[in-house]
Amino acid sequence: MSQVQPRQGATGLTSESWENEGGGLVAETLAGSLGVLRHLTETYSVGGFQYTNLTDAIAQARRMTKLEREVL
């Protein structure tokens, strides 16, 4: 039975050799220990535009609907 050998990365932290095949948690752990926070932001798509504010996305959708009715 073969054993996985830890290796030293560029950050000086050791990682298992399999971590380069899908990513380990070393970067997130390091980031967290340094006070880096992760934020997820919702985005809304209307036509070819993207918005982070739902009110703005709805306003654009209404403008596009109004234009479509005027063209027809």
For 12, phi then psi, to 5°, come to: 90, -5
Distance between first and last Cα of the chain: 72
- What pLDDT, in 10s, does the model give residues 13-58? 555 555 556 655 677 788 888 998 888 999 999 999 999 999 999 9
Q: How many whole angstroms separate alpha carbon 24 and alpha carbon 59?
A: 42
pLDDT at residue 63, as a whole number = 95
Q: Which residue has the higher pLDDT, 54 or 72?
A: 54
For 18, phi then psi, to 5°, come to: -75, -15
Q: Which residue has the higher pLDDT, 61 or 22?
A: 61
pLDDT at residue 16, as a whole number = 56
Are 52 and 43 in contact by the 8 Å Cβ rule? The answer is: yes
